[in-house]
Amino acid sequence: MKFSHREKKDLFFAGLMISLAFAILLSGGYRALFSSNLSFIFIFAAAFFTAGLGFLLHEIMHKHIAQSYGLKAEFQAFYPMLWLAIVFSFFGFIFAAPGAVMIQSFRPLSKEKNGKISIAGPGTNIILAIIFLILLLVFGNQSAILGYGLTINSLLAAFNMIPAMPFDGAKILAWNKGIYTITLLVAIGLFVASFIL
């Protein structure tokens, strides 16, 4: 899998800014301004290894599946939306549309191919959430990072299943309603479990 110079830069900054937005949110929004440097650095590291990693792998898997069909695919960051995510995080919530994998095809994609490319993203977040869940069950609530990992990745999966364009959910639903329903229910179930454990 090859990445252009621009794509590497966009992935780096998008991952960094998403991690920062979640770090601010997890630090209590505007209260992050009054956090000690040490505690914020720890929370930023936790956000990077959960939200940042989840976001990057989500987008890379879209690209990988698209390229497996012989399509040209490149991630492009949406910097205005990334800055907006950081601003929103100070007010206690995040609405993020950090960017997308742009796919070039000489012919319209079939619903099946489009659906499979789309499900690669939230599917990756579900796998990551399950890994964090297993680690939580094995090690208990000893590490906040594991809890963050389960919550954030299940949320990313569920959020991307919104059945409206340009979200992945719209393309998955158009391809296969059964797979859409199962994926959405698993994502929501994992998100609910993150508050029970």
Using only C-alpha atoms, the chain has a radius of gyration, in whole angstroms, of 17
Q: Is 59 a catalytic residue?
A: yes
Query: DSSP assignment of 104-119, as one string?
Result: E-SSPPPHHHHHHHHH
Longest Cα pair distance anywhere in the chain, in angstroms?
Answer: 54
- From the candidates 7, 59, 74, 112, which is the catalytic residue? 59
C-alpha closest to that of 149 among 129, 124, 135 = 129
Helices (H), the chain: 5-26, 37-47, 53-68, 79-89, 111-139, 144-160, 168-175, 177-196
C-alpha closest to that of 190 among 138, 105, 98, 123 = 123
Cβ contact 97:144 at 8 Å? no
How many residues are present in the chain? 197
Catalytic residue IDs = 59
